[in-house]
Each structure stands twice: as structure tokens, then as C-alpha cells.
Amino acid sequence: MSHGREGRAVVVLVAVLMGGCSCSETQAPLPVQPGLRVERARARLTPAQVGAVYLTLVNTAAQEDRLLSAETSTAERVEMHEVVAQGEVLRMLARPEGFVVPAGGRVELRPGGKHLMLYSVRDAPAQLSLTLHFEKAGTLQLVVPVSPPGADEP
């Protein structure tokens, strides 16, 4: 395994995923689909052109739903991931099946857990437009505030 640029990118990525976000939470009301709402949407970007989006999905419907995919014009691609402990090692696993949002429940996408991973970020905007695709609720569009690179560093 290379310890050059690729190794540094992994270290930066882990710092993004494990660190908190000092960015302010979304102030404007977020869009709501029947039975589904988004809370506390926020994003972190790194100078290595990767980032993560964190948010909480709340399902007030009587049936579960599933986040199937997400997209933004700010990044080349968005993948759903989860950081899990395997023994003493933390691994980031792709979750192409998406995230189930239980009926009457919630799913938190947060640092060190489930999140939306942004790859090949094109710029460092103050906010990004994000489209979420759900199995039952359909498409939901929102604007997510972005924490500037290094905002959590001392």
C-alpha cells in the first residue's frame, strides 16, 4: 500500500468522518415529503476533494421507507457509507442498498457512523444543493450548509 498522497487522503478522510462539525445547522426549514422530513443537514469538505453530508431522516409515516441514493452537482458522485468497528479497527463500508428509515422512526447520518460520502468535489461552496431519492417518498431536494475546510482544527 502506498503511503504517499493516497495515505494522506485516507488520514484526511478519517478526520472528516470522525470529527464533529462546527458548522451551523440549517436555519431555514427543510423540505418535507408526506411522512418524511430532514433535520440538522450539514456537510464537511476537505482540501482532498472529498467530503461528507450528515443529517437526520425522520419518518412519521406508518410504513418504513429507504434512502436509495443521493446526488449533488458539487461532487462527481455521492455514495452511502457507514463506519463500523471490526474488532479494534474502524472500517468504512459502502451501503449501496441504502438506509432504511423505520416507520415512526429516524435514522441519523453522523460523523463516525452512517453518512453520505462526496467524491471529486468540484469547489468549496458555502452550501450545496442535495437531492435525496427515497423508495416511497420519492425525491427530496434541499440546500445543505458547508463547513469550510479546517473549521474544526485548532
Q: What is the DSSP string of 41-107?
A: EEEEE-TTSEEEEEEEEEE-SSS-EEEEEEE-TTEEEEEEEEEEEETTEEEEEE-TT-EEE-TT-EE
Assign domain 5-24+40-147 one CATH number from 3.40.50.2300, 3.40.50.150, 2.60.40.1890, 2.30.33.40. Answer: 2.60.40.1890
Average pLDDT of adjacent 10-residue blocks, the chain of 154 residues: 40 40 42 80 93 96 96 97 95 97 97 97 90 95 84 47
Q: What is the pTM of this model?
A: 0.78
